[in-house]
């Protein structure tokens, strides 16, 4: 009788791990439980059961039910879940489900590299392009970039690194947390004895076969840039990091990086950027040491210099007003950056100066180091906690216990929020802001770490179920990752991957994560097309919607972290 009511079955369109949670959300006006059927590729019924009505779901503005087929553990591809006559997108159940996403999401960083030709042999001819911003005409940077007139009167070589996002700016705070996440992903895999999967010759990077794990090769491309952003000895603000480098005015679209004719500008140093460099470089010194001790030494000395410079200039804030030609990445509270940098320096060196800075920080005991809204470029206290909870260090057991408990308490909060929502997302209804997909992915990382600390499988399930959201089990039934899932984002805001504007240019490569729903409608396309949207539905796959559909290193980094984590076989 209720057949006409069901409108859609939302699943992870890539699929599910045999030993993982398997849930789907059904959008329906039906109020009574409905039956679900799972069929394999040949149409044979392999499992069935009843949905659980969940009623109105505030973030999506939909009335929903949940189907749970976790107990089905057989593998295959082309499964379809049906409820009330409506079928899901087809999906797989297999242990190697995330292998391709692991390499694709990591390849994103190689594609975003500045200062090096992107080679067709590695990426395919559609994505190949000449090196960007090496001072070759019409480019004017980044080998010799002038400081903004009000800042200093010299030029600095700040070549390399990754372009931040769809724009061609390079921002230390955002590059730093993204590098940190890639290196942290490797360090975590090492602890789990699974680092070979991220080792040498596992990725499509030019440095394949050099004896260095490829994920570290990729991170090093950015670390080299971050260290170039440091002010040299003998100059004003020595040891500080410039906040960012980008075009004088916003770069037009579409535009391949090597064709950018605008002047580039170095923007004033900031305490946040300096501490971000200190944290990422201190982590480098620890994790790179077994592979390249000279590089580890370089990183450590950059980290120490940055720390000292930040002590001397503790309140040099990047202003929100500095957003002509590039994002502001403004931050006027840097106590959390001090805590994170101190934690990294302490974990690497064991020195008492850094330990004292950790224990004296308000973030050492604050109950707010983890937030429902995730960590991010302006909120880094959680990163300090994650380091101290996972990297062996000399803090007293009582401190370590409290820090670990704070990670699991945060993860418990995410799990209970997921359980209370029809789409099982760890963020609250008011958490759909610019980059919400990155926020969700960051929360999932905290759950994964809690799982590592406790061995409690519920946390791994929470992290995996967050992947379900990103890959299609969401209000719009879209996978936000290009090329992964039956219906995926493909017109993300990007100056080179701008197929929507110019058919000779490619779509974003597979593995590119869209920023996701942003209920504040902060671009003209969103304002025109999304008026009145429910928070989790404020997304449009249009290249003009930079507030909902851009790509960015700080969103792809947690995706890559999670894909590597989810790709690990727990039972083999
Ligand atoms: O991710 C950033 C988001 O938190 C801010 O609200 C937004 C506006 O300042 O900027 C986002 O970052 C963008 C940056 O400013 C410029 N490069 C593209 C970034 C992703 O959209």
pLDDT score, position 2: 43
Q: What is the pLDDT of residues 29-38, one digit of tens each?
A: 999 999 999 9
d(CA 387, CA 396): 15
DSSP state for residue 98 in the 8-state scheme: T
Q: What is the mean pLDDT of residues 388-407?
A: 98
Which of ligand 1's atoms lies nearest the C-alpha of 378?
4
d(CA 283, CA 276): 11
Asked if 215 and 565 count as a contact pair (C-beta separation under 8 A), the reply is no
Other C-beta atoms within 10 Å of 392: how many? Answer: 9
Question: Which protein residue has the closest C-alpha to ligand 1 atom 8?
Answer: 327
Kindly write down the DSSP assignment for every residue of 331-385, as one continuous string.
BS--HHHHHHHHHHHHHHH--HHHHHHHHHSGGGT-TTSS-TT--BTTB-HHHHH
Distance of CA 25 to the CA centre of its chain: 24
d(CA 515, CA 558): 12
Q: What is the pLDDT of residues 120-147, one digit of tens each?
A: 999 999 999 999 999 999 999 899 999 9
| Cα 318-382-335 angle, rounded to 5 deg | 40
Contacts of 104 (CB under 8 A, 6+ apart): 483, 484, 509, 510, 511, 563
Ligand 1 contact, 47 CB (< 6 A): no
Structure tokens at 550: 């851009």
Other C-beta atoms within 10 Å of 43: how many? Answer: 8
- CATH code 1.10.30.50 for 3-93: no
Ligand 1 contact, 518 CB (< 6 A): no
d(CA 240, CA 281): 13
pLDDT tier for residue 7 given thresholds of 50, 70 and 90: confident
Ligand 1 contact, 199 CB (< 6 A): no
Domain 99-320+327-477+551-566, CATH class in plain words: mainly alpha
Asked if 40 and 81 count as a contact pair (C-beta separation under 8 A), the reply is no
> What is the DSSP pairing of strand 91-93 with strand 15-16?
parallel
CA 540 to each of CA 319, 396, 524, 543: distance values in angstroms, whole numbers, following the listed order:
30, 49, 12, 9
Q: Which of 434, 436, 519, 544 to mutate to test the pocket of ligand 1 (most atoms within 8 A of CB)?
A: 434
Asked if 525 and 561 count as a contact pair (C-beta separation under 8 A), the reply is no
Complex ipTM tops 0.90: yes
Torsion (CA) 205, 207, 208, 209 in degrees, nearest 10: 180
Q: What is the pLDDT of residues 417-460, one digit of tens each?
A: 999 999 999 999 999 999 999 999 999 999 999 999 999 999 99
- Catalytic site includes residue 246: no
Spacing, Cα 297 to ligand 1 middle (Å) = 33
pLDDT score, position 535: 98
Q: What is the pLDDT of residues 448-502, one digit of tens each?
A: 999 999 999 999 999 999 999 999 999 999 999 999 999 999 999 999 999 999 9
Residue 3 has pLDDT above 50, yes or no: no
Residue 281 has pLDDT above 60, yes or no: yes
Spacing, Cα 201 to ligand 1 middle (Å) = 33
Q: What is the mean pLDDT of residues 295-321?
A: 98
Three-state DSSP string of 231-282: CCCCCCCCCCEEEEEEECCCCCCCCCHHHCCCCEEEEEEEHHHHHHHHHHHH
d(CA 438, CA 345): 26
- CA within 13 Å, CB half, 410: 33
Among 67-71, 148-152, 516-520, 544-548, the minimum mean pLDDT is found in 148-152
Spacing, Cα 521 to ligand 1 middle (Å) = 13
Ligand 1 contact, 514 CB (< 6 A): no
pLDDT score, position 5: 53
Q: What percent of the chain has pLDDT above 90? A: 97
Ligand 1 contact, 164 CB (< 6 A): yes
- Catalytic site includes residue 494: no
Question: What is the three-class DSSP state of 48?
Answer: strand
| Helix/strand number for the chain, H first, E second | 15, 15
CA 191 to each of CA 184, 186, 390: distance values in angstroms, whole numbers, following the listed order:
10, 9, 9
b/e code 224-235 from CB counts within 10 Å (16+ = b): ebbbbbbbeeee
d(CA 529, CA 130): 36
Q: Which of 162, 377, 435 to mutate to test the pocket of ligand 1 (most atoms within 8 A of CB)?
A: 435
> Could you give the maximum distance between any two Cα atoms of the chain, in Å?
80
Asked if 492 and 508 count as a contact pair (C-beta separation under 8 A), the reply is yes
Q: Which of 163, 245, 327, 522 to mutate to test the pocket of ligand 1 (most atoms within 8 A of CB)?
A: 327
- Catalytic site includes residue 493: yes
Asked if 566 and 446 count as a contact pair (C-beta separation under 8 A), the reply is no
First to last CA, the chain: 47
Task: Tell me the domain boundaries of the chain.
Answer: 3-93, 99-320+327-477+551-566
Active-site residue, selected from the candidate residues 110, 246, 493, 494: 493
Asked if 242 and 268 count as a contact pair (C-beta separation under 8 A), the reply is yes
> What is the DSSP pairing of strand 62-68 with strand 23-28?
antiparallel
Active-site residue, selected from the candidate residues 84, 92, 337, 541: 541
Spacing, Cα 211 to ligand 1 middle (Å) = 36
Question: Which protein residue has the closest C-alpha to ligand 1 atom 16?
Answer: 327
pLDDT tier for residue 149 given thresholds of 50, 70 and 90: confident
Ligand 1 contact, 452 CB (< 6 A): no
Asked if 328 and 369 count as a contact pair (C-beta separation under 8 A), the reply is no
Residue 49 has pLDDT above 60, yes or no: yes
Q: What is the pLDDT of residues 305-315, one digit of tens each?
A: 999 999 999 99
Question: Which protein residue has the closest C-alpha to ligand 1 atom 10?
Answer: 327
Structure tokens at 148: 């903004």
pLDDT tier for residue 571 given thresholds of 50, 70 and 90: low
Asked if 519 and 561 count as a contact pair (C-beta separation under 8 A), the reply is no
């Amino acid at each position: 009788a209720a057949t006409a009511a069901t409108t859609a079955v939302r699943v992870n369109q890539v699929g599910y791990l045999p030993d993982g949670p398997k849930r789907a959300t059904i959008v329906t006006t039906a109020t009574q439980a409905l039956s679900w059927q799972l069929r394999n590729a040949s149409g044979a019924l392999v499992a069935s059961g009843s949905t659980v009505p969940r009623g109105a779901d505030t973030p999506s503005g939909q009335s929903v039910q949940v189907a749970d087929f976790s107990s089905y553990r057989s593998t295959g591809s082309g499964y379809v879940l049906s409820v009330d006559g409506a079928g899901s997108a087809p999906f797989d159940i297999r242990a190697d489900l995330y292998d391709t996403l692991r390499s694709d999401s990591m390849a994103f960083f190689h594609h975003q590299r500045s200062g090096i030709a992107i080679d067709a042999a590695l990426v395919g001819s559609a994505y190949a392009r000449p090196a960007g911003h090496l001072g070759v005409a019409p480019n004017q940077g980044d080998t010799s970039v002038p400081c903004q007139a009000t800042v200093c009167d010299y030029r600095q070589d700040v070549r390399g690194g990754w372009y931040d996002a769809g724009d061609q700016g390079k921002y230390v705070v955002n590059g730093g947390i993204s590098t940190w996440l890639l290196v942290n992903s490797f360090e975590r895999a090492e602890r789990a004895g699974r680092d070979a999967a991220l080792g040498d010759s596992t990725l499509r990077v030019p440095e394949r076969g050099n004896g260095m794990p490829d994920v570290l090769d990729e991170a090093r491309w950015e670390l080299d840039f971050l260290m170039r952003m440091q002010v040299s000895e003998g100059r004003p603000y020595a040891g500080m990091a410039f906040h960012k480098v980008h075009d004088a005015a916003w770069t037009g679209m579409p535009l391949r990086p090597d064709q950018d004719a605008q002047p580039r500008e170095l923007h004033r140093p900031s305490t946040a950027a300096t501490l971000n460099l200190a944290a990422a470089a201190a982590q480098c010194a620890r994790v790179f040491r077994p592979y390249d001790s000279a590089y580890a030494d370089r990183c450590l000395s950059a980290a120490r210099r940055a720390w000292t410079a930040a002590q001397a200039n503790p309140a040099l804030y990047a202003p929100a007003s500095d957003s002509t030609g590039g994002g502001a990445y403004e931050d006027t509270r840097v106590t959390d950056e001090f805590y994170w940098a101190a934690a990294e320096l302490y974990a690497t060196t064991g020195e008492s100066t850094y330990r004292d800075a950790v224990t004296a920080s308000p973030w050492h005991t604050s109950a707010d180091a983890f937030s429902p809204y995730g960590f991010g470029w302006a909120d880094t206290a959680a990163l300090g906690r994650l380091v101290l909870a996972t990297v062996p260090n000399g803090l007293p057991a009582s401190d370590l216990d409290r820090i670990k408990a704070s990670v699991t308490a945060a993860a418990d909060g995410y799990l209970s929020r997921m359980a209370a929502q029809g789409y099982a997302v760890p963020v609250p209804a008011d958490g759909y802001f610019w980059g919400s997909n990155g926020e969700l992915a960051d929360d999932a990382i905290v759950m994964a770490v809690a799982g590592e600390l406790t061995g409690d499988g519920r946390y791994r399930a929470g992290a995996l179920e967050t992947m379900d959201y990103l890959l299609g089990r969401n209000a719009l039934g879209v996978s936000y990752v290009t090329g992964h899932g039956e219906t995926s984002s493909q017109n993300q805001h990007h100056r080179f991957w701008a197929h929507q504007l110019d058919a000779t240019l490619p779509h974003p490569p597979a593995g590119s994560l869209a920023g996701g729903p942003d209920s504040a409608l902060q671009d003209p396309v969103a304002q025109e097309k999304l008026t009145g949207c429910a928070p989790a539905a404020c997304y449009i796959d249009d290249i003009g919607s930079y507030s909902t559909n851009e790509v960015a290193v700080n969103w792809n980094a947690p995706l890559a972290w999670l894909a590597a984590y989810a790709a690990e076989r727990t039972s083999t």
